[in-house]
Structure formats: structure tokens, C-alpha cells
Structure 1
Amino acid sequence: MTEFSTRAVHAGQEPDAGTGAVIPPIHVTSTYAQDGIGNMRAGYEYSRGGNPTRDGLQTLLADLDGGVAAYSFASGLAAEDALLRAYLEPGARVVMGNDVYGGTHRLVNRVHVPWGVQLVVVDMSDVDAVRGALEGAPAKTVLWVETPTNPLMKIADIAGLAELGHAAGALVVVDNTFASPYLQQPLSLGADAVVYSTTKYLGGHSDVVGGAVVLADEALAEAVAFLQFGAGAISSPFDAFLTTRGIKTLAVRMERHSANAQAVAESLVGAPGVERVFYPGLADHPGHEVAAKQMRSFGGMLSLSLSGGAAAAKRFAESTEVFTLAESLGGVESLIGYPSEMTHASVRGTELEVPDDIVRLSVGIEDAGDLVADLRQALTR
């Protein structure tokens, strides 16, 4: 099996050996019978340490991203925290973009910085700024790349940044949540690790919270595996099952998300009340050429600024009928959010503060015409 869509359906998902069930059963047990002290059947002892349903998901994730191993966690932030703890030490440095997900910045700034980690925030699209942030970096340095970014849809050149990071001795991590492994393959572009909120496109149905780390290095994979076991922020068997079920349709969903988002973005350009549309699929987007080079298509996320400022942005976000006002993203249904007071409230007053005229759209798989009409009527309101 070599093509993505085939692997998404079958990798790590062999029919059950005992019954022939095409979909492997959900192993909801907490513990496993032993045939003698230390003589474990199939290597399973206790579900914090290993569970067949979670293992199936992890095999699938590693396969889709081309990693040596993948580990599934209870949330995206739990996955990020495990990776950071596995690699960092007091005195280490994290270099991240000035438009990353607010929760990621909060995790490093409020949890890891008090532990003694340095945090440097730069514009990842400015190569000179990144190079400067890496100068004199300690031995343990992480270059944290998010592309497309949340919510301003900035694009970073993964291959270029990986080369720059490695020249400085840094571990290069890519948050690939917005793109998913179907649209973008960071490990093949030189990254050392990929992180996901599997809550989003991988799960795809707004019914499960989870996270994952996929790694290219065996030693770091072992360190993350230990923290998954030792700290215990694992995904439950049922959450692993739901995520695996979602991944089976990832390719076809991402095609529809991308096509719909392109149609929505083009319809909003020049629309009354719209100051600017942020979507890498638009030819005038500053990162369009880089995105076209490293992505299969441009994804389902976009943002826009309203010419009426904060008041207009809030009214618009509260006036849609098909788009649901809610946090999160990546589900089959279209969502609308006001990042300044919702997803990015934790970074207000910092260098990552989101302008208050910005509205973020997670474009779902509904009929594109209905989505465009809904946004048009909201703008009229």
C-alpha cells in the first residue's frame, strides 16, 4: 500500500484475528490477564502502558506522516507538553512564531518558562529574524513552526526553516493541525517531529478531543513514549477509535474542505465590509507560492478582517445561520469564531494578540453555495 487514501483506511487496522471483524474491536479494558507472573499475552499488561485500540491509531498516524513512531494523547496540548518535556531542560530555548495557537504560547510561557526555558517569539516568515533568534542558542533548542498559522494564515517554508534550524542544532517541530498529513508532510520536508490536535481534521467530526506526536528519531520517540506512560495523558480506547474512524475519510474530507474554503475566500474578496481575506489559496496571499510548493491544496481555514472594526466583526460572527459560532475547527460542519475573545483570549496583551477586527472561519463540507450565501447575509446584517 503506497497511496495515502489506501493507507488511511487500512494501516494499523487489520481485521480482528479472532472473529474476522473488519473493524477491530474497541478494547475498553483497563488491565489484562497474565498466564503467569510477567507472562503477558500479546505484551499487554495495563492500558496506560499499552492498548490495542490506541496502538492501532498510533501505527496509522506514524504511517501517514512517514515517522518511525507516533504517540496519541488526551489532547493536542498534552501531546505538545510531552514532546517539550521529553526534549527540553532548564536553560533550553523555544523559538516560535508570533501567530501560533494561543494555547501553545500559554503552555510554553506559563508552564515551561517558569521551569527555566527561554521563549523567543519571531515572525517565522522573516528568515533573518529566525536566524537571529537561533544565534547563540543553547544545545537544547526547539524551533516551533506552525503553518498555516492560527488565525492569520501565515505560511512558513518548512524545508527552509528545517535547514536553518538544523544548522543551529535545533529540534524542528511542525504543528501540522491546520493542514493535516493529507495536505502537508513536514517530516519529508526535513522536520524532526510533527504535532497535532487530532480533535481537528484528523478526528473530523467534532466529537473527540485528542492529540498526537509523530517522530522521525528513534531516541526522541523513546523519550516521548516514556512520558506517555509515565505521566499518563493517554487517549482513551474510545477516543482512539473515534479518531481512527475519522482518519479513514480524511482525504476526501480535506478535498472538500479545501474546495469550499477556496470558493468562500474568493467570494469574500472585495465584498462590502470586508477589509482583507487571509487564505493561502488566493494568488495575492504573501505565502501563496510557498504553500503551493509544500501543500497538496490550501485547506479549510481562513480569516477575514472587517472594515468596521471590532464591533462589525462581533456582529458578523453572531449573524450567521449555517456557520455555527463555536471554538475549535476541522469538523464537517462550518464554524465561525472571534479569536480575540475566544481561541486566543489567553494572548491578549502580548505580542501574539490577535487584532480585534478578525473573524476566523472553519469551512466545512456543506454545499459551497449555501456557505457563501450565509456569509453574504451575515455581512448584510
Structure 2
Amino acid sequence: MIDTKAKQLSFESSAVHAGSGKKDQYGSHTTPIYQTSTFVFKNVDEGSKAFAHEEGGASHIYSRLGNPTVEQLERAICELETYGMETPESFSGVAFGSGMAAITTGIISLAKGKHIIAQDALYGCTSQFLKEETEMLGMSTSFIDMTDLFLLEMELKKNPDTALIYLESIANPTMKVSDIEAISKLAKEHGALVMVDNTFATPYHLQPLKFDADVVVHSTTKYMGGHGTIIGGALVAKNELLDETGVYLFRKNLGGISGPMDAWITLNGVKTLALRMEKHSSNAMKVAEFLESHPKVETVWYPGLESHAQHSLAGSIMTKGFGGVISFELKDGLEAGKSLMNNVKLCTLAVSLGTVDTLIQHPASMTHSVVDEQLRCDAGITDGLVRLSVGIESADDIIADLEQALLN
């Protein structure tokens, strides 16, 4: 981060300059791509000290262990997730080759053979990992509605070996918003850690670490990259916790680090994060209001709407807007949803989210088809649910496209 002795930079300025504290030896204005698998040692002694983590050793060894381009991205994301905090230097970012690499490495590192309490509505692959694969790794998982603090407290008492509480800042795709601060307080009383997937909100809208979460995780594929051109993930936590839990060791041996090219592309995306999120959010609010007033729409789930169950909570923790994702259900159910998605012209029928263009998809048959059917139903992911990732096009154009598609 550039030196700003006079005053704290705005988030918008911080996003542009995030991670830029270390300058390239040749004075490159933008971050160079260190597209190399290995690094050359001056001599055997420098190499030996590097592997032993001793002073005087080479700064880099092998790009699976660390890479200068990747490390700048790690600093950038950490700076944004700790923006405005008193001791940002006590935190670090860890970059991964995908959001799922960040999520699974984080869970394996933090839970280590103990119990996990997870939010019932989660990204499909996260849910599948927790439901089907953690048991094979010596862990157990229970799923609850994380917006119900009484249920969480009962689940903690029922499972005294709980090591980790896992949730999303805005649930995918039900758009529920949980009270991170209250959850973190309960977790600490029971000796558990809290891990929050902040992909939907991004640090522009919400910083879970400020509400005492222990770990924040991202699919940087989405809003951080912003253009649908990379796959990536990141994790931010206190340095002490990263060292204690062995996150770096697990990333090294599981091989989940980001590649330098993806890190470089993501860094360019981070620079425009604030601009894009402002537009995504304002567009989504207009589209949500349009959908809520449409006679063919049964229900709209968007935290910015007063009809949303956690609207007041969302407004108190997300002061710049409510993100760019909307979920809704049509009165005529799944077939009407299929017709809508088959007839859009501006909106693109594709999975993922957070790109500059508007994406529309059907979670039950696409992103969440891997989720246990009963768990999916219990979490409110119905067969008729449509998920819309609102882009940065003109809001009027997005609305006009949806309106013509709803007429078919």
C-alpha cells in the first residue's frame, strides 16, 4: 500500500493501489508476471538457507511455494478485507488456484478431524464437500439455518467438539444474511472458529473480519477478477492462526496455489472492484424492484428489498449496497423459469457470477445439482428458483430484456 501519512485512503483508492508496497526491481509501473516454475540461487548456501527459512536465504524457491506476482495479489486482497482495521499488519492473504481450493484447504486446516457446523444453503460444491467428503477425512458436519442463533447455540451444545462454523456472508442462492458478529461471539464461547465465504458481498460491501470472524474466503473467479477470465481463490486470516493451523503447509502439499498469470489478471480486476460493485449493486436494486412488482413473479430474494427477512441486518452491516446477485421464483414454477432463461437476449444463460455482463441460471439443475436433494429442499433451494447475477450494463436494458423474456 502506498504511504498515506496524512489520512486513510478511501476504499476506492485503496483498491487501485492495494498490494503495491513492494516495487519491481526494474521499476515496472504495473505488477510484472513472474511466469516461472522455479527460481535461481546465487549459490548453494543461499538455496540451503531458503529451504531452512533462515536469514540470508533466497526470497523465492519454487512457484508452488510462493511467487512474487501471487504474493502481490495476496497483499492486495488482505488490504481490502482488513481496510480500516486497527492492526491490518497482523493479517495475511493466501491465494489459491480456485475458490474451492481455498475453501477445502481452509476447512481441512481449521477443522482437523473435528465437527463442523455449516449453513444449510451454500455454494453447491462446498455443500457437497461438507456433506459427502469431510467424513472420509475424519470430520463430521451438521447443517442448520445460520440466521437462527438459537438453533446454532443448540447445535454447539449438541456437538462440543465443534471446531469450525462455516457460512456465507450472503447465502448462495437463497440470499439469506446471517449475523456474523453474534455467530462469532457464540463460536468463541464454545471454542470454535468462524469461516465466512465473502464472495457475494466482497470487501466493498462487507468485511467479516471486522465482525470478529476468524477467516474470510473468496472465489476470486467472481467479483475480484470481475471479467470471467480466470479461476482463483483466496483466504485471509491472522498470521498466528495461519501458522498454527498449517494453512501454508496444506496449500504447499495439496498443491492449491494460484498461478502467476491468473494472479496478475485478478490484480487488474481488483483495481476496478469498487467501481464495478457500485454499479452491480445499483443495477441489482433496480432489477429487484422491477421483478418484485412483476405480475408473473412470485417471490424475490435480495437483501436490499424491504421484503427481505434480514433487510435490517443487511443494512446495518452493508453500508454501500447489497451486491449484484438476485434470486427469484416465478408463479408458474420451473417451466416458466425455463422459458425465461431460454428467451433472454442480453442476459447470458451461464453459471458463475460476478462478471461485468448479466448471467442467469437455474441452481437446482445447474450449480446446486450436486447438493443432496433433501438438504437442498430444506435450505429453500426450490426447483423453480432462478439466480440472476446482475452485470454493469444499463439497468434499463437488463430490465427490458427480462420483461420481453417474461412475455414469452
Task: Give unmatched runs, 5+ long, in structure 2.
Answer: 48-56, 83-87
Separation in structure 2 between the aligned mates of residue 31 and residue 75 of structure 1, nearest angstrom: 21
Do the aligned partners of 1:195 and 1:213 also contact (CA within 8 Å) in 2?
yes
* Residue number in structure 1 paired with 2:53: none
2:243 and 2:382 map into 1 onto residues whose CA distance is: 38
Q: Which secondary structure state, in structure 1, belongs to the residue aligned with residue 136 of structure 2?
A: coil
Q: Is 1:20 matched with 2:44?
A: no
Moved more, 257-266 or 8-17: 8-17
1:256 paired to 2:282:
no
Match of 2:180 among 158, 162, 169: 158
2:50 corresponds to:
none
Q: Which moved more, 1:286-295 or 1:131-140?
A: 131-140
Matched, 1:267 2:294: no
Q: How does 1:49-198 map to 2 (within 5 A)?
A: 49-66=65-82, 68-90=91-113, 92-198=114-220
Which residue is equivalent to 1:356?
Answer: 383
Please state if 1:335 is matched with 2:351.
Answer: no
Counterpart in the other structure of 1:307:
331
The change in CA–CA distance for 1:341 and 1:12 in structure 2 (over 3 A counts) is same
Q: CA RMSD in A?
A: 1.5
Provide the TM-score with structure 1 as the length reference: 0.96
Contact (CA 8 Å) 2:96, 2:257: kept in 1 or not?
Answer: yes
Aligned residues of 2:99 and 2:233 also touching (Cα < 8 A): yes
Residue 169 of structure 1: SS of its match in structure 2? coil
User: Structure 2 length as normaliser, TM-score?
Assistant: 0.90
Compute the displacement of 1:97 (Å): 1.2
Between 1:185-194 and 1:126-135, the stretch displaced more is 126-135
Q: What whole-Å deviation, never above 9, does each CA across 1:41-90 have from its counterpart, x for those lacking one? A: 75111111110000000111111112611111011111011111112222
Aligned residue number for residue 343 of structure 2: 319
- Structure 2: how far apart are the matches of 1:60 and 1:199? 15
The equivalent residue for 1:379 is: 406
Identity within the alignment, %: 40
Distance 1:260 1:186 in 2: 24
SS at match of 1:174: strand
Number of aligned pairs? Answer: 380
| CA offsets 1:2-56 (integer angstroms, 9 cap, x no match) | 3222221212225744332210210001111111114157511111111000000
The farther-off stretch of 268-277 and 3-12 is: 3-12
Matched-pair contact (CA < 8 Å) for 2:156–2:162: no
1:34 lines up with 2:50 in the alignment: no
Structure 2 CA distance, aligned partners of 1:71 and 1:274?
Answer: 41
- Distance in 2, matches of 1:76 and 1:308, equals 34
Aligned partners of 2:106, 2:239: CA distance in 1, in Å? Answer: 12
Q: For residues 150-188 of structure 1, what are the alpha-carbon distances to aligned partners after superposition, in whole Å with 9 as ceiling and x for unaligned?
A: 111111011111111111111111110000011100001
Code of the residue aligned with 1:65 in structure 2: it is: E
Q: Which residue type is aligned with residue 362 of structure 1?
A: S
Which whole-Å CA distance do the structure 2 matches of 1:38 and 1:176 have between them?
43
Query: Secondary structure, in 3 states, of the residue corresponding to 1:35?
Result: coil
**Cα distance in 2 between the residues matched to 1:168 and 1:285:** 30
Bigger shift: 44-53 or 108-117?
A: 108-117
Q: Residue type matched to 1:155 in 2?
A: V
Distance in 2 between residues matched to 1:165 and 1:319, nearest whole Å: 46
Paired residue secondary structure (1:26): coil
8 Å CA contact 2:24, 2:32 repeated in 1: no
Aligned-partner SS, 2:222: coil
- Decide whether the 8 Å contact of 2:117 with 2:162 is kept in 1: no
Letter in 1 for 2:202: S
- Counterpart CA distance in 1 for 2:134 and 2:161 is 17
Give the Cα–Cα distance (whole angstroms) in 2 for the partners of residues 216 and 149 of structure 1: 24
**Cα distance change, pair 17–155 in 1 and its aligned pair in 2 (3 A):** closer
Match in the other structure for 1:207 = 229
2-structure distance, mates of 1:221, 1:376? 52
**What is the CA–CA distance in structure 1 between the aligned matches of 2:203 and 2:393, rounded to whole Å?**
22
TM-superposition CA deviations, 1:119-170 (whole Å, max 9, x none) = 1111111111111111143445211121211111111011111111111111
**C-alpha displacement at 1:217, in angstroms?**
4.8
Task: Structure 1: state its 5+ residue gaps.
Answer: none
CA distance in 1, matches of 2:316, 2:126: 26
Q: Is the 8 A contact 2:32 2:69 kept in 1?
A: yes
